[in-house]
Amino acid sequence: MLTTSALSADAATALTGEELHALMARLYPICRSITGDGVRQTLDVVREYLPGLVVHEVPSGTPALDWTVPFEWNIRDAWVKNAAGVRVIDFRAHNLHVLQYSQPKHGWVARQELEEHLFSLPEQPDLIPYRTSYYQPNWGFCLSHHQRAQLQDEYYEVGIDSTLDPAGSLTYGELLLPGSSEEEVLLSCHCCHPSLANDNLSGMVVAVGLARWLAQVPRRYTYRFVFAPGTIGSIVWLSRNPAAVARIRHGLVLSLLGGEGGFTYKKSRRATAEIDRTVALMLRDMAVPHQVVDFIPYGYDERQYCSPGFNLPVGCLSRTPYAQFPEYHTSADNLAFVQPDVLAESLLLTQEVLAALDANCRYQNRHPYGEPELGRRGLYSPVGGASAHPDEQLALLWVLNLSDGQHSLLDIAERARLPFAQVQRAADRLLAHDLLILLPD
Amino acid sequence: MLTTSALSADAATALTGEELHALMARLYPICRSITGDGVRQTLDVVREYLPGLVVHEVPSGTPALDWTVPFEWNIRDAWVKNAAGVRVIDFRAHNLHVLQYSQPKHGWVARQELEEHLFSLPEQPDLIPYRTSYYQPNWGFCLSHHQRAQLQDEYYEVGIDSTLDPAGSLTYGELLLPGSSEEEVLLSCHCCHPSLANDNLSGMVVAVGLARWLAQVPRRYTYRFVFAPGTIGSIVWLSRNPAAVARIRHGLVLSLLGGEGGFTYKKSRRATAEIDRTVALMLRDMAVPHQVVDFIPYGYDERQYCSPGFNLPVGCLSRTPYAQFPEYHTSADNLAFVQPDVLAESLLLTQEVLAALDANCRYQNRHPYGEPELGRRGLYSPVGGASAHPDEQLALLWVLNLSDGQHSLLDIAERARLPFAQVQRAADRLLAHDLLILLPD
Amino acid sequence: MLTTSALSADAATALTGEELHALMARLYPICRSITGDGVRQTLDVVREYLPGLVVHEVPSGTPALDWTVPFEWNIRDAWVKNAAGVRVIDFRAHNLHVLQYSQPKHGWVARQELEEHLFSLPEQPDLIPYRTSYYQPNWGFCLSHHQRAQLQDEYYEVGIDSTLDPAGSLTYGELLLPGSSEEEVLLSCHCCHPSLANDNLSGMVVAVGLARWLAQVPRRYTYRFVFAPGTIGSIVWLSRNPAAVARIRHGLVLSLLGGEGGFTYKKSRRATAEIDRTVALMLRDMAVPHQVVDFIPYGYDERQYCSPGFNLPVGCLSRTPYAQFPEYHTSADNLAFVQPDVLAESLLLTQEVLAALDANCRYQNRHPYGEPELGRRGLYSPVGGASAHPDEQLALLWVLNLSDGQHSLLDIAERARLPFAQVQRAADRLLAHDLLILLPD
C-alpha cells in the first residue's frame, strides 16, 4: 500500500454528540438480549445509518467453537401481582425487571419461593439490577431493594410471557468498508443489553459514528464492524470467519464510551501491538485524562479475540471500566447518564486512532549520510543562531534521522516525544521534497 | 514428568519451630570447624533425624578444583594463664575463645607478643568475636574487649592443645531423596562454625526440617542436601560430583534463617532463573517482609555454585544478611538470639518454594480458540451481570488464556498477579475437566 | 590488541585550567566563520600546541554529501554611520556586530530598511546576539537592544567590507595520533564561531588539552581530532574520509565545556554504545553533578555523525547545553564566562573517559570452576570472620565471577556498582597472578 493517509482530513463529516445521543435514545427502550427480536429491531435502526450493514441469522443449535448457539429468547410481558391483582413488579415499567432468558411461567408462588428468584441491590436500594441466566434454565425478577422490601404478602401470582425457541436464531450485524488493502481493522461492540445506555449503547453509537465517517473517506485498510451479542456473538463470528480473522491487523472493542471519567485503554494480550501503542500515543497527543491498563482475560469480547488460539491485536477502549462506576449494570445506566459531549470526544479519539493507524508507514531517507541541506529547499530558517528551534523543524530532523527502514512514524513519534500528527506532517513535507521514499509494509 | 504436584499437601508433617530449636540446642555446644571431630559429631546428630544421610571423608591433601583439602584440625583445650596460673582466657568457657585452626602452642609470651594474637571488638566490648586462620599458620585467642583490657601482666603462659593432622580428612554429609525425575534440587548449608546459632545452625536445622518433610511426600524432583564446611566443603563437593552438578535444576543455600528481620533472598548469578522467580513469588504470596537482592560474588557457598564455570541456578535465602546485624560472628549469636517461631516461618517459606517448584508446569489449553464454555461445566457462576468476579474464576480464565505452551504456572501467577497456589488450583480444576493437557518439561 | 592500559597513568602531564584559559584568550578576538582567514588563524595557534595538526583546504563549490562547500567569506570592516559620520555600529568594537556571511555593501539606507537588517534581543537589551546567514544572501548587523533604541535618524550610511570568494575554500584541522590498533576514537569540535568563549572555544581548548596528553602516553586506540566548522565542516570531513569513518569505534563531540552547571552527556543515536555507557559510568565515578540525556537530531556535529547512514557511536559532551543558559550565542559568552577550574574538570573527565575506553577489555577467568584460592596467592585477608569485606577484595571476586568471556570491565563495573578504576586494578592484579587471560576484541 503505497499512498499516504488522507483519512484524517474529513473529521468534520462525523456525527455530532447530539446526533449520537439521539440515536441512543431511539435504541434505549428496546429489550435486547443475546438472541431475539430486540437485536433485530436494534440492527434495523443501525441500518438506517449504515445502509451496507448485513444482518446474519445463525440457527439455534449451531456449534460455534466450544459453544452452541442457544435457543432464541423473546419476551412479551412479565409481572408479579399481589392478591389484589395489582402488578407489584412490571416488565412494562422497565425491561430490566425480568431476569434475562427467564423461562415462561404462570402461577401462584409462596413469597419464600419468590424470594429465591428475586435480585436486588441492598447497597443501592433505589436501583434495579441487570441479571441474566442464559445458559442455566431459570426464571426471575430484578427490582429495587426498596420495592422488594414492600413484598409482604404470603403468595404472589407470577407471569412470564416468554418463548425459548429451539428453531430460532442468533442475530448479529456486520459492515465491511473495503480499503486499498485487504488487511482489516476490526471494530466490535456488543448489542445484547436491554435498557442500559453506557454499557452497550454508547459503544454501538460510537461505532455507527465511526462507520459513517469512514464510509466517506479514502481508506487504506478495510474496516469491519461487528455488532454482536457479548461472548456468544463474537464466538459465533470468529467460528464463521476464519479468512477474515487471518486478515485482521488491528482491532478495538468499543464499550462504555459515554459515561464519566477519563479513558481506559486495555491493551491486547500481545501488549505491544501497533494498536496498543497507537491508542496510548493518541491519548497522550489528545492530552485527555486516561489510563492504559494491561490485558486481563475478563471484560468484553476482547476475551474471545485475545484467546490464545486467535491472539489477535485487539484492545478494548472504554472510559471508566465495567464494575468501577456505581451505575454499572443497573437502571441508573440510563440516557441521562450518557452525555453528548462525552460521546463526541470518544468518537474523536477513535477517529484519531484510526487516522494514525492509517497513516503509519515506514519511509526511507534518500540522503541518509549526513543531514540533507534543508535550507536550500526552504525547510529550514535562513537566519541561524537563535536559541529556539521550532518543533516543526525538529520533526523534520527526527523523521530524516529515523527513516532508516526500521522505524515507522509511530516509532518516531514515540521516540521523539512529538505529536503523531506533527510527525506525519513532517513526513508529508519531506516526501513532497523528494527526501523520503515510502516503503512497502 | 507428567503428574501434577502432591508435594504441598503434607506441610503438617514438618517439624515444629520448637523441635527445630531443640535440635539446634543439641548442636550449639559442639566446636565445629572446616575439618575435625566437631563436624563428625554434628552429622551424627543430624543422622538421627535423617537416617539416609551419608557422611563422606575426603583425605587431607586431596586436590579439589584450585584448592587442596587442608590438614584436619582438632582441639582439646586452649588457655592463657597469668603468673598466678589462673586461666584468664579459657576455651572451656566458650569455644569461640580460640582462633580457629590455631597451631599447637605452649610457653610463656610477653604481653606485647600476645596482643598480636588477640582479637576483640572495641565497639562491642562485651562480645567475643569469631575468627579463623584456616590457610595461614597462626595461633590466637578471641575475647571480649573488656576482658582484654584486664590483661596487664608482663608475661602470660599460653597453651593450645590442638592437632593439625596431614593424615586427617574433611567431613561432609549428603542426603539424596530420589523423585520421579532425575533432575535435582540442591539444598546446601554450611556446618563449619562453632557455637554460633543463627550463622550455621539455623540453616542446618531448617534443612533437616525440609528433608524430614520431603522424605514423607511424593516427589517430582530428586532432592540433594549437602551439609558441608563453607567454601572448601562446597568446592570439594563440586569437584567430586560432576554428574550431579549437571542434573541440578534449582538450588538454595540456606543460612541465617533464625534471627530477626524480614527475609532476604539473594538471586543466583543468572538473576532470572526459575528459583529466583519462585522465591520472589512465594515471598510475595506469603506477604512476609522481605527483600530480593542481586547476586554478588561474596556471601556463602552460592559463591562457588555461581562461579562462572558452574553458573548454577542457586540462590541464597536468609533473613537479615551476614554482617548486617550486630550479633553476626560474635558470642551474641547464641541460642537466645534464634526464636522457634522464626525458624518455623523460615521452614514454611522454603516448603512453599519447593512445593511451587514441584508444581510448576506448562499446560496446553485444549480449546484455545475462544473461551471454552465454563458455565456448562459448572466452573462459572450461572447468573450473569454482577459486578464482582471472584478471583477463583479469574484464575481459571488466566490459566486458559496463557496455557499456550509458552507459559508455566509461574509465568501465569506473575502476569496475573494472583497467588501461585490459586493458579495451581485453577489448573487442577481445569485439568480435571479435561480442558488442559500437561506438557512435558 | 593484547596489552592492558597504561593510558590513565600520565594525567599529570595535562595542561592546567589556567593554560587552557590562556589559549582561549588568544583565540577569542579572532573573527571565525565557517570559512575564511579566522579559521586559518585559529588553527595556526592550535598548531603551536599540536605540531602534528594538518590543515585542510577544500575549494568552494566542492560537493560534499548533499551539500556544496560555500564561497569563502572574509571581512575586514563593517559599520553603520549616522549623518554626522559617527560609527553607531562598529565591527571593530565587537566582531559579533556583523551578521555572519553578510555580503559587501556600501551606501545610504533609510532607517526603515536598516531595521529589517538589524538583530537584537529585546529581553536581554544589553547583549549583542550572534546571527548567521550562511546559505541565503543577506547583510545585517547585530547589536544590543539599547543601542538599537538610539537609532532615530532617518538615514544611515552602511558599510560592509566583506568578500565572498567563489575561488576560496573551507578550512579544517585534523590531528591523528596512531595507537597500537587502527581502530579510532574521534574527538570533534566546531571552530566557526567568532568571539564566543564557551560555545566553540571551550570545546577547542579541551580538545587541545586532550591531544597534548594523549600524544605523551602509550595508546591502544588511534585518536583522530577534527577541528572543523559546524555542520558543513563535519559533512565535508565525512564525505572525504570513508575509510576513517569505517574505523571509528567511539567518538565525542566536545562543546560548551567551560560554562557553569553540571555535565550534560547526550547519548549517541545508538543509545547503548560503549561510549554512552563509559561516559555515564565515569560521570558516576567522578561523582560530579551531571545528566545523561537521550539523543535528539539537533545540536552540534553529532547530528551528522549520527545521521542514519553513518550512525556512528558518537555522543556529545557539554556542561549546560546550548540555548539553556542566557549567555548562549550572545556577547555575554565571553572570557569571563568561562572559568579555568571548569575547563580543568572538563578535561579531567574526558581523560577519564578515554582512559576507561582504552582499558576496557574482556578477560577469561583461568579457574572458572569455583573461586580460585586467593588466600594462598596473598590476594585475600588471612584472618577470616570479620564483618567488613574491603571493596578491593570484592572487586577481585567480581572480576573473577564475570570474566567468562561475555563481560568486559565496563560490564563488570556497571553490574558490581564499583568504580571502573577499581575494577581495572583488580583485573591487573589478577592478571599479574596468572588468574586471567586477556581476550582479543
Q: What pLDDT digit, counting tens, does each position of B70-119 carry? A: 999 999 999 999 999 999 999 999 999 999 999 999 999 999 999 999 99
Question: Where does a domain end: B165, B182, B217?
Answer: B165
- What pLDDT score does A390 carry? 79
Regarding whether B237 and B307 lie in a shared domain, the answer is yes
Question: Where does a domain end: B321, B343, B359?
Answer: B359
Residue B287 DSSP code: T
The b/e string for B204-227 (b: 16+ C-beta within 10 A; e otherwise) is bbbbbbbbbbbbebebbbbbbbbb
Contacts of B384 in chain A (CB under 8 A): 131-134
| pLDDT > 90 fraction of chain C, expressed in percent and rounded | 93
Inter-residue contact C240 to C187 (CB < 8 Å) = no
C interface with B, Cβ–Cβ below 8 Å:
365, 367-373, 375-376, 382-389, 394, 397-398, 400-404, 416
- Write the CA distances from B286 to B281, B349, B414, integer angstroms: 9, 8, 14
Regarding whether A198 and A344 lie in a shared domain, the answer is yes
Q: Do C66 and A367 touch (CB under 8 A)?
A: yes
Regarding whether B243 and B212 lie in a shared domain, the answer is yes
Q: Is residue A75 assigned to a domain?
A: no
Query: What's the CATH code of the domain at C407?
Result: 1.10.10.10
Regarding whether B179 and B150 lie in a shared domain, the answer is no
CA–CA dist A186, A261 (Å, integer): 25
C-alpha cell at B69: 583439602
CA–CA dist A276, B335 (Å, integer): 58
Confidence of residue C5 (pLDDT cuts 50, 70, 90): low
In total, how many domains does chain A have?
Answer: 3
Classified as helix, coil or strand, A92 is: coil
Q: Do B304 and C368 touch (CB under 8 A)?
A: no
Confidence of residue A253 (pLDDT cuts 50, 70, 90): very high
Regarding whether A231 and A144 lie in a shared domain, the answer is no
- pLDDT tens-digit readout, B362-398: 999 999 999 999 999 999 888 888 877 778 899 999 9
- The residue with greater pLDDT, C1 or C69, is C69
User: Which residues of C does the annotation place in the binding site for Zn(2+)?
Assistant: 193, 199, 329
Residue C21 pLDDT exceeds 90: yes
Residue B316 DSSP code: E
Regarding whether B179 and B156 lie in a shared domain, the answer is no
Element (H, E) at B232: helix B232-240
Across the interface, of A119, A130, A297, the residue whose CB is closest to B401 is: A297
Regarding whether C116 and C231 lie in a shared domain, the answer is no
Across the interface, of B371, B394, B402, the residue whose CB is closest to A304 is: B371
Q: Do A67 and B404 touch (CB under 8 A)?
A: no
- pLDDT tens-digit readout, B193-208: 999 999 989 999 999 9
- What pLDDT score does A385 carry? 86
- Write the CA distances from B207 to A249, A436, B186, B188, integer angstroms: 54, 67, 11, 8
Give counts: helices (H), strands (E), chain B.
13, 19
C-alpha cell at A35: 438472541
- Write the CA distances from A124 to A120, A128, A181, A286, B355, integer angstroms: 8, 9, 50, 36, 44
Contacts of A385 in chain C (CB under 8 A): 100, 129-132, 329
The set of residues, in sequence order, having a beta carbon less than 8 Å from that of B99 and lying 6+ positions away, is B117, B119, B131, B132, B133, B138, B139, B140, B141, B142, C383
Contacts of C430 in chain B (CB under 8 A): none
The set of residues, in sequence order, having a beta carbon less than 8 Å from that of C437 and lying 6+ positions away, is C363, C364, C366
Query: What's the CATH code of the domain at C108?
Result: 3.50.30.90
- Write the CA distances from C142 to B32, C73, C96, C100, C329, integer angstroms: 86, 18, 7, 10, 11
Instruction: Pick from B401, B411, B412, B433 the residue to mutate for testing the A interface (most A CBs within 10 Å).
Output: B401
CA–CA dist C330, C25 (Å, integer): 17
- The rounded Cα B155 to chain-centroid distance in angstroms is 44
- The residue with greater pLDDT, C91 or C4, is C91
Query: What's the CATH code of the domain at A21?
Result: 3.40.630.10
Q: Is residue A59 assigned to a domain?
A: yes
- pLDDT tens-digit readout, C374-410: 999 999 888 888 877 778 899 999 999 999 999 999 9
Regarding whether C192 and C292 lie in a shared domain, the answer is yes
Q: Is residue C2 assigned to a domain?
A: no
Regarding whether B405 and B282 lie in a shared domain, the answer is no
Residue A186: which of A226, A159, A151, A146 has the closest Cα?
Answer: A226
Residue at A335: amino acid letter: L
User: Which residues of B does the annotation place in the binding site for Zn(2+)?
Assistant: 193, 199, 329
Name the residue range of residue C128's domain.
73-165
Q: Do B303 and C367 touch (CB under 8 A)?
A: no
Residue A166 DSSP code: T
- pLDDT tens-digit readout, A57-98: 999 999 999 999 999 999 999 999 999 999 999 999 999 999
Classified as helix, coil or strand, B268 is: coil
Residue C335 DSSP code: G
A372-386, A398-412, B21-35: range with lowest mean pLDDT: A372-386
- The rounded Cα A251 to chain-centroid distance in angstroms is 10
CA–CA dist C60, B181 (Å, integer): 78
Confidence of residue C4 (pLDDT cuts 50, 70, 90): very low
Inter-residue contact B130 to C385 (CB < 8 Å) = yes
- What pLDDT score does C12 carry? 54
C-alpha cell at C305: 555523525
Q: How far B101 CA lies from chain C's nearest CA (Å)?
A: 10
Q: Is residue A2 assigned to a domain?
A: no
Confidence of residue A386 (pLDDT cuts 50, 70, 90): confident
Inter-residue contact B211 to B217 (CB < 8 Å) = no
Question: Where does a domain end: C325, C343, C359?
Answer: C359
Inter-residue contact B418 to B398 (CB < 8 Å) = yes
Name subunits touching C (3+ CB pairs < 8 A): A, B
Regarding whether A341 and A429 lie in a shared domain, the answer is no
The set of residues, in sequence order, having a beta carbon less than 8 Å from that of C62 and lying 6+ positions away, is C68, C69, C170, C236
Q: Is A301 annotated as a binding residue?
A: no
Q: Do C373 and B234 touch (CB under 8 A)?
A: no
Q: Is residue A133 assigned to a domain?
A: yes
ipTM value for the complex: 0.94
Across the interface, of A303, A311, A328, the residue whose CB is closest to B387 is: A328
Inter-residue contact B392 to B413 (CB < 8 Å) = no
Instruction: Pick from A296, A305, A312, A328 the residue to mutate for testing the B interface (most B CBs within 10 Å).
Output: A296
Strand partners, C119: C142
Inter-residue contact B119 to B99 (CB < 8 Å) = yes
Span A400-417, average pLDDT = 97
Regarding whether A313 and A209 lie in a shared domain, the answer is yes
C-alpha cell at B134: 584456616
Instruction: Pick from A380, A383, A415 the residue to mutate for testing the C interface (most C CBs within 10 Å).
Output: A383
| pLDDT > 90 fraction of chain A, expressed in percent and rounded | 93
Where chain B has pLDDT below 70, the residues are: 1-13
Q: Say which residue the cell 586462620 belongs to.
A: B133
Contacts of C238 in chain A (CB under 8 A): 369-370
**Mean pLDDT score of chain C:** 95
- What pLDDT score does C2 carry? 34
Regarding whether C334 and C211 lie in a shared domain, the answer is yes
Q: Is residue B2 assigned to a domain?
A: no
- What pLDDT score does C9 carry? 41
CA–CA dist C25, C334 (Å, integer): 9
Q: Is residue C1 assigned to a domain?
A: no
Q: Is residue C296 assigned to a domain?
A: yes
